[in-house]
């Protein structure tokens, strides 16, 4: 399989879906003439024209509202947020209107909109540009929340999201945009709501998603080489719907669990996961469920300190060893 970057995988997914379905359009700030803030949409304006690739004003409330209205009429908009931190400007449109329209209409109106863009820390852009709101988004029934970690997953999940009849929110990571991985040249999709075991193991389950998947894989290799501990890595890929069955199957095999996420611990995704694991598989656990996440403070502006605020591979390694000793 060819090696392409995470950024290219997203672009290929959108290009293929724009070609496949004339109802697919791309909207967002600078997605056209500037090729996207992170060059994800580079070349799409030249290929598909300004009616399909639409530059919008700097108004998330405005252009996301337009996208939601268009989706209710059969258009399939893919909306780019320059940062997911700006979703709060359009909170009413996204989580009050888009999330509820199918329910409020008795199933008569779909809202097949995709909203995508980066949601991460670690890039020294400060507290107002570094949010990871997957927990807030997933709290609302009627939406789907996707956090891909690899180029392969990014392409397959985005294609499925574009074809889905519900609002799908894809949270990417600017640090991953340059990550290379094998991606098939032929057509494929990945169903939403299916986790992936990125590494098989027998001693410890580490449940994770997004960029921490990459860091966890590095930590797992060090665990094996230096401590003879075999860690199984379960990548959720989607937060809602959540594939708890794959998580529980791994827990029943290893009997110890660490949850690694780029979320602050209070009211995070990991809190829900920990509850579900102990509720469904309490007798399988040989130790309490442990969690590692972002240190609970606004994103730190100092680059060396921000690195330590996030769940880097060494912090994950330390947490894994503590879980094994519990």
Active-site positions read 60, 129
Token pair belonging to 43: 């070349």
Token pair belonging to 249: 């199957």
| CB-based burial, 218-243: b 16+ in 10 Å, e otherwise | ebbebbeeeeebebbbbbbbbbbebb
- Give CA separation, 238 vs 80, 180, 235, in Å: 19, 21, 9
Evaluated on CA atoms 62, 67, 70, 72, the torsion sign reads negative
Place of tokens 């240190």: 295
3-state secondary structure of 242: coil
Evaluated on CA atoms 32, 154, 165, 69, the torsion sign reads negative
Instruction: Kindly tell me the number of DSSP H helices and DSSP E strands found in the chain.
Output: 12, 14
Evaluated on CA atoms 246, 251, 253, 258, the torsion sign reads positive
């Amino acid at each position: 399989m060819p090696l392409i970057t995470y950024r290219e995988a997203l672009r290929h997914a959108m290009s293929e879906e724009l070609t496949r379905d004339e109802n697919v359009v791309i909207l967002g700030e600078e997605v056209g003439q500037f090729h996207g803030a992170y060059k994800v949409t580079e070349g799409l304006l030249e290929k598909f024209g300004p009616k399909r690739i639409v530059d919008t004003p700097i108004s998330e409330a405005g252009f996301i509202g337009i996208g939601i209205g268009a989706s209710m009429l059969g258009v399939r908009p893919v909306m780019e947020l320059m940062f997911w931190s700006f979703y709060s400007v359009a909170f009413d449109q996204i989580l009050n209107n888009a999330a509820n329209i199918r329910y409020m209409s008795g199933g008569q109106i779909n809202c097949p909109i995709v909203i995508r863009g980066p949601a991460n820390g670690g890039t020294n852009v400060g507290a107002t540009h570094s949010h990871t709101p997957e927990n807030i988004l997933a709290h609302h029934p009627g939406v789907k929340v996707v956090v891909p970690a690899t180029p392969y997953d990014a392409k397959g999940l985005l294609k499925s999201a574009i074809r889905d009849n519900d609002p799908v929110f894809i949270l990417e990571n600017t640090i991953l945009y340059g990550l290379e991985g094998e991606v098939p040249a032929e057509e494929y999709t990945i169903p939403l709501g299916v986790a992936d075991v990125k590494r098989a193991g027998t001693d410890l389950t580490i449940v994770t998603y997004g960029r921490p998947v990459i860091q966890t894989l590095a930590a797992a290799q060090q665990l094996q080489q230096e401590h003879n501990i075999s860690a199984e890595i379960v990548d959720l890929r989607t937060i809602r719907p959540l594939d708890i069955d794959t998580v529980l199957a791994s827990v029943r095999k290893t009997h110890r669990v660490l949850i690694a996420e780029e979320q602050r611990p209070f009211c995070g995704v990991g809190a829900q996961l920990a509850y579900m694991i102990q509720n469904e598989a309490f007798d399988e656990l040989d130790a309490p469920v442990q969690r590692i996440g972002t240190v609970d403070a606004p994103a730190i502006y100092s680059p060396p300190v921000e690195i330590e605020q996030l769940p880097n591979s060494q912090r994950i390694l330390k947490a894994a060893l503590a879980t094994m000793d519990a």
